[in-house]
Amino acid sequence: MKTKTIQRYGVVGVVVEHNRYLLIRRSESVLAPGKLCFPGGGIEPGETPQQALVREFQEELGLSVRPIRLDWESVTPWGVHLQWWFAEREPNQTPLPNPNEVAEVLYLTLPEMLTHPDMLESNRVYLERLSNAARLS
What pLDDT does 4 receive?
A: 61
Residue 76: band (very low, low, confident or very high) from pLDDT cuts 50, 70, 90: confident
The full DSSP string for 37-56 is: E-SEEEPPTT--HHHHHHHH
Torsion of CA 129, 78, 40, 19, to 10 degrees: -20
Going 41 to 103 to 93 to 87, the CA torsion angle's sign is negative
What pLDDT does 136 receive?
A: 81
Residue 2: band (very low, low, confident or very high) from pLDDT cuts 50, 70, 90: low
Residue 28 dihedral angles phi and psi, to the nearest 5°:
-70, -15
Using the predicted structure, report yes or no on whether residue 7 has a pLDDT greater than 90: no
Out of 59-63, 90-94, 118-122, give the one with best mean pLDDT. Answer: 59-63
> 67-72: long-range contacts (C-beta < 8 A, 24 or more apart)?
67/13, 71/14, 72/126, 72/129
Residue 97, CB-side half-sphere exposure with 13 Å CA sphere: 15
Alpha carbon distances (Å) from 86 to 15, 16, 18, 29, 71: 6, 8, 14, 27, 6
Rounded to the nearest integer, the mean pLDDT of the chain is 94
What pLDDT does 3 receive?
A: 59
Q: Which CATH class is domain 8-136?
A: alpha beta
Residue 16: count other Cβ atoms within 10 Å of its Cβ.
Answer: 16
Instruction: DSSP letter for 119, please.
Output: B
Using the predicted structure, report yes or no on whether residue 108 has a pLDDT greater than 70: yes
Per-residue pLDDT reduced to its tens digit, 19-72 = 999 999 999 999 999 999 999 999 999 999 999 999 999 999 999 999 999 999
* 108-115 mean pLDDT: 97
